[in-house]
């Protein structure tokens, strides 16, 4: 442009500066107030401070006068950044205030350009001047001049300052558009290659989709590329796919299908969307058959139900949209009287859509099987989907058993084999069913019991068809011992076929089968084999013994119990002894008493304490029923010494009851005394109460009192209140004032004894607190009331003594002399002890 050339010429030769100089020269008007400033400037022409003072003096002067002063100042100080910045800002501000467009005031805009050019002669390293100049030029339509000034700024400034220029340059280029914008962005990408996304956005905005797609491909293929906007590689893929699918006809420089397929292989978690993008690409190109092929390939290759749902739903919508378009076209043709769409083609498309919807359950099942081909459950569901299609069912079962890895099977793999065989059995094809079972028995399952179930089902099938001999032969083959020795049932390194003969489940079924259709001898042989290989459990022992008993082999059944007891220790042996002894007693009663006694002695010889009580009670009951009473008492006496501590008190009570029944109440005194010695405190306390009550009923008051006194050492008055209340009631009924005071004295001494024990003190405090909370009173008052010797004790003693006197018919005015009572078990008390 000629005008721009003129503007870029040297400032001293331009027409605008000449006009400005004329104006400035005409505008010089020095007043009296300016004389002092002028004289200072004459003396100091290179002083920035003096020029600034002069400019402040002219701050309110006409703008032309200010420009004259600025021109004089920058002429004297051409390298002063402050003067040039203030001058240029003043010129731009003056131009902006007048709101003059470039077209109407070209000379004034160019005069400002000239000022910037003159300033940049010495201040070309100042980015602020360049930025202001560029912002001034951006406001004008001079594209070429603006671009050249941008280039000059980039050449003049150091590289560290370029970013400030590029922000303006890119924004201006995007606004201008066209080839200018593209070339500017390409130059910028050489400096900052990671900002390629902005370039792609610009290309899309300018509808240059082919170049945008190519640029995105380069960014995606560059493994070192880092998005400045935080986008992942998949998001860049999505952007590329959106561009391709939205404008397939514009993108020609890249292999679109290969690119999308590589994305499908790379981003496995988003395959559904990428398959849909590929199909959409072909749809927009009107290649419907290729799109249909893509959908079919997708639904048979995706690995997740989510991706399958995305593809299938889009596929169905595509088919529906094609059919709808065909039907609308047919209606439009009929309305215009023209030939319509081929009806056969329309019917074919409808059938295709219907067939697609029918295939959905099978396709979903295929997806799940691709995820986990070892899923037994999904294979079984696939068999159920085929329904009555026998050939497809057989093909599915065959594919399943050949695909599933036995050790990795998810579910019961043996159950699949069994159902496969049962399918043939339901079709009355026993030969094929046997063939399937034979193959199933050769599979190395995860566990031995899986193979055992297959053998059992094989035999059950023969039983259902009344082939009993064949069933027995099957179980006989299944239980053939391995030739290897010392085989461990849980040794996973060995195949299950080697270990299956030790499966108790297999032998249990074999025994049941022998009991049902075999002979007694064959059944006994199977039971003996179980015991021989040492896999029997207690239930097998009991079943074997019951079987022998039912067939009148009583002695053999007893031997089985004894073998089981030897095989198992306690506590299982305890249960076997119980059954064995009950069976023996039920059969022989007292006819073989000595043998029965020997059995009981064997049973209680090694019995643990916690299991001893039932055996001793059964033993004692035998002696009571068929033997001697003294033998029974001897057994109960032995029982009290060997039973568990928690059962000892009950055993003593039972022993005492039996002794009282057989030999009278007086014979229990020795048992009571021994029980009180060996039992724990809480049980001894109860035993003392019963012992004393027995003596009271016999009229032995002194013996009962002595027992109460002896048992008091186990009874803290604050805890065992029932004991002391019972003794109190006893003294009220059978005692006198002296015996009652003696009871109180013992109570006080026992309490003192327990007060020295930390554990009893703690228990007392807790009990006191609980009682005080329940009563709502003060804890200390409650404790005072419970303490012997507190206020009110004497009144209590007197009232109790009075009741004792009245009970014995004594007069209050004339107390009788106390009667001396001879008690051999009386506790000696010192006479000088306070009452």
Kindly report, residue by residue over 201-251, the tens digit of the pLDDT. 888 888 888 888 888 888 888 777 878 778 887 888 788 888 888 888 888
Question: How many whole angstroms separate alpha carbon 199 and alpha carbon 202?
Answer: 5
What was the pLDDT predicted at 422? 92
What was the pLDDT predicted at 823? 45
Query: For a pLDDT cut of 90, what percent of the chain falls above it?
Result: 3
Of 224 and 9, more confident: 224
Question: How many whole angstroms separate alpha carbon 317 and alpha carbon 50?
Answer: 83
Q: Is 534 exposed, middle or buried (0-12, 13-18, 19+ CB in 10 A)?
A: exposed
> What sign does the CA torsion over 583, 588, 593, 595 have?
negative
User: Residue 604 has which token pair?
Assistant: 């209680």
Question: How many whole angstroms separate alpha carbon 217 and alpha carbon 237?
Answer: 9
For residue 436, name the pLDDT band (cuts at 50, 70, 90): very high
Q: Is 375 helix (H, G, I), strand (E, B) or coil?
A: strand
What was the pLDDT predicted at 8? 31
541-555, 727-741, 758-772, range with the lowest pLDDT: 758-772
- Find the Cα–Cα–Cα–Cα dihedral 788, 790, 792, 796, rounded to 10°: 10
Phi-psi region of 286 (alpha: psi -120 to 50; beta: other; left: phi over 0): left
pLDDT, average across residues 371-382: 89
156-165, 187-196, 281-290, 542-551, range with the lowest pLDDT: 187-196
Cβ atoms of 57 and 17 within 8 Å: the answer is no
For residue 6, name the pLDDT band (cuts at 50, 70, 90): very low
For residue 347, name the pLDDT band (cuts at 50, 70, 90): confident
Cβ atoms of 728 and 743 within 8 Å: the answer is yes
β-bridge mates for residue 443, sequence order? none
In this predicted model, what pLDDT tens digit does every residue of 396-410 receive, in sequence order?
999 999 998 888 888
Q: Which helix (H) or strand (E) holds 141?
A: none
Q: What angle do CA 588, 591, 593 make, to 5 degrees?
A: 95
Write down the residue that tokens 């009929």 correspond to: 334
β-bridge mates for residue 375, sequence order? 410
In this predicted model, what pLDDT tens digit does every residue of 309-344 receive, in sequence order?
888 898 888 888 888 888 887 777 676 766 555 677
Cβ atoms of 536 and 528 within 8 Å: the answer is no
Residues across the chain: 835
Question: How many whole angstroms separate alpha carbon 279 and alpha carbon 295?
Answer: 7
Does residue 789 register a pLDDT over 50? no
Give 355-413 as a DSSP string.
Answer: HHHHHHHHHHHHHHHHH-TTBHHHHHHHHHHHTT-HHHHHHHHHHHHHHS-GGG-BS-H
85-89, 667-671, 711-715, range with the lowest pLDDT: 711-715
Question: How many whole angstroms separate alpha carbon 559 and alpha carbon 580?
Answer: 10
For residue 435, name the pLDDT band (cuts at 50, 70, 90): very high
What was the pLDDT predicted at 761? 59
User: Residue 783 has which token pair?
Assistant: 């404790």
Which residues in 597-730 belong to E strands, given as ranges? none
C-alpha dist (Å) from residue 787 to 718, 725, 754: 9, 15, 13
What was the pLDDT predicted at 20? 40
Q: How many C-beta atoms surround the C-beta of residue 251 within 10 A?
A: 21
In this predicted model, what pLDDT tens digit does every residue of 473-508 receive, in sequence order?
988 888 888 777 777 777 777 888 888 888 888 889
What was the pLDDT predicted at 341? 59
What counts of helices (H) and strands (E) characterise the chain?
A: 43, 0
User: Residue 463 has which token pair?
Assistant: 């039983």
What was the pLDDT predicted at 779? 40
User: Residue 130 has which token pair?
Assistant: 């360049």
**DSSP code for 268:** G
Question: How many whole angstroms separate alpha carbon 169 and alpha carbon 173?
Answer: 6
Does residue 828 register a pLDDT over 60? no
> Please, what's the largest Cα pairwise distance for the chain?
158
Does residue 54 register a pLDDT over 80? no
């Amino acid at each position: 442009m000629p005008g721009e050339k003129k503007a870029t010429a040297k400032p001293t030769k331009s027409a605008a500066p000449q006009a400005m100089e004329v104006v400035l020269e005409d505008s010089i008007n020095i007043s009296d107030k300016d004389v002092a400033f002028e004289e200072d400037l004459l003396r100091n022409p290179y002083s920035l401070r003096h020029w600034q003072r002069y400019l402040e003096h002219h701050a309110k002067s006409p703008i032309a006068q200010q420009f004259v002063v600025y021109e004089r100042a920058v002429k004297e100080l051409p390298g002063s950044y402050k003067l040039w910045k203030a001058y240029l800002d003043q010129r731009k501000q003056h131009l902006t205030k007048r709101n003059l467009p470039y077209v109407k005031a070209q000379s004034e805009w160019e005069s400002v350009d000239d000022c910037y050019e003159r300033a940049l002669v010495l201040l070309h390293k100042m980015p602020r001047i360049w930025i202001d100049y560029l912002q001034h030029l951006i406001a004008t339509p001079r594209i070429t001049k603006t671009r050249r000034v941008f280039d000059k700024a980039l050449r003049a400034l150091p590289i560290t300052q370029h970013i400030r220029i590029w922000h303006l340059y890119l924004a201006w280029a995007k606004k201008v558009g066209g080839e200018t914008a593209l070339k500017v962005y390409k130059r910028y990408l050489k400096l900052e290659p990671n900002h390629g996304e902005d370039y792609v956005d610009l290309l899309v905005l300018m509808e240059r989709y082919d170049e945008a797609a190519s640029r995105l491909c380069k960014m995606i293929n560059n493994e070192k590329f880092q998005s400045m906007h935080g986008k992942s590689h998949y998001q860049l893929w999505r952007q590329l796919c959106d561009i391709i699918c939205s404008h397939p006809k514009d993108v020609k420089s890249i292999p679109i299908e290969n690119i999308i397929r590589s994305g499908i292989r790379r981003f496995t978690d988003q395959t559904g969307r990428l398959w849909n993008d590929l199909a959409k690409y072909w749809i927009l190109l009107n290649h419907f058959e290729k799109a249909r092929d893509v959908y079919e390939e997708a639904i048979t290759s995706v690995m997740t139900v989510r991706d399958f749902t995305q593809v299938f739903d889009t596929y169905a919508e595509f088919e529906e949209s094609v059919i709808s378009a065909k039907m609308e076209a047919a209606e439009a043709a009929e309305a215009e009287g023209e030939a319509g769409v081929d009806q056969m083609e329309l019917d074919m498309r409808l059938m295709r859509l219907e067939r697609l919807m029918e295939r959905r359950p099978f396709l979903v099942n295929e997806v799940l099987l691709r995820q986990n081909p070892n899923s037994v459950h999904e294979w079984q569901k696939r068999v159920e989907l085929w329904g009555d299609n026998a050939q497809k069912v057989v093909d599915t079962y065959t594919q399943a058993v050949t695909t599933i890895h036995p050790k990795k099977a998810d579910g019961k793999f043996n159950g699949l084999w069994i159902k496969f065989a049962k399918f043939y059995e339901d079709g009355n094809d026993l030969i094929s069913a046997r063939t399937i079972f034979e193959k199933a028995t050769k599979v190395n399952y995860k566990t031995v019991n899986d193979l055992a179930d297959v053998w059992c089902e094989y035999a059950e099938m023969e039983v259902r068809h009344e082939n009993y001999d064949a069933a027995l032969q099957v179980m006989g083959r299944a239980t053939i011992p391995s030739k290897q020795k010392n085989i461990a049932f849980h040794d996973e390194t060995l195949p299950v076929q080697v270990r299956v003969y030790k499966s108790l489940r297999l032998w249990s079924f074999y025994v049941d089968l022998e009991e049902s259709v075999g002979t007694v001898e064959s059944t006994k042989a199977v039971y003996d084999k179980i015991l021989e290989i040492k896999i029997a459990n207690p239930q097998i022992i009991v079943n074997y013994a019951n079987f022998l008993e039912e067939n009148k082999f009583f002695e053999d059944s007893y031997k089985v119990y004894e073998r089981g007891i030897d095989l198992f220790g306690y506590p299982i042996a305890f249960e076997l002894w119980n059954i064995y002894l009950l069976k023996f007693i039920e059969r022989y009663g007292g006819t073989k008493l000595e043998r029965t006694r020997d059995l009981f002695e064997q049973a209680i010889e090694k019995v643990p304490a916690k299991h001893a009580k039932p055996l001793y009670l059964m033993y004692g009951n035998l002696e009571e029923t068929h033997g001697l009473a003294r033998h029974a008492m001897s057994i109960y006496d032995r029982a009290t010494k060997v039973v568990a501590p928690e059962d000892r008190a009950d055993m003593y009570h039972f022993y005492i009851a039996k002794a009282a029944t057989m030999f009278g109440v007086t014979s229990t005194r020795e048992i009571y005394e021994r029980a009180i010695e060996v039992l724990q405190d809480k049980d001894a306390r109860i035993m003392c109460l019963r012992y004393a009550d027995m003596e009271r009923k016999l009229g032995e008051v002194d013996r009962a009192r002595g027992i109460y006194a002896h048992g008091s050492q186990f009874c803290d008055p604050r805890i065992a209140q029932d004991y002391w209340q019972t003794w109190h009631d006893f003294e009220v009924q059978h005692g006198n004032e002296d015996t009652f005071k003696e009871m109180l004295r013992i109570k006080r001494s026992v309490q003192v004894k327990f007060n020295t024990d930390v554990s009893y003190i703690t228990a007392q405090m807790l009990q006191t607190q609980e009682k005080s909370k329940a009563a709502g009173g003060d804890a200390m008052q409650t404790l005072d009331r419970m303490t012997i010797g507190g206020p009110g004790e004497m009144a209590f003693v007197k009232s109790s003594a009075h009741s004792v006197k009245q009970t014995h018919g004594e007069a209050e005015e004339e107390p009788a002399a106390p009667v001396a009572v001879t008690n051999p078990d009386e506790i000696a008390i010192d006479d000088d002890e306070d009452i």
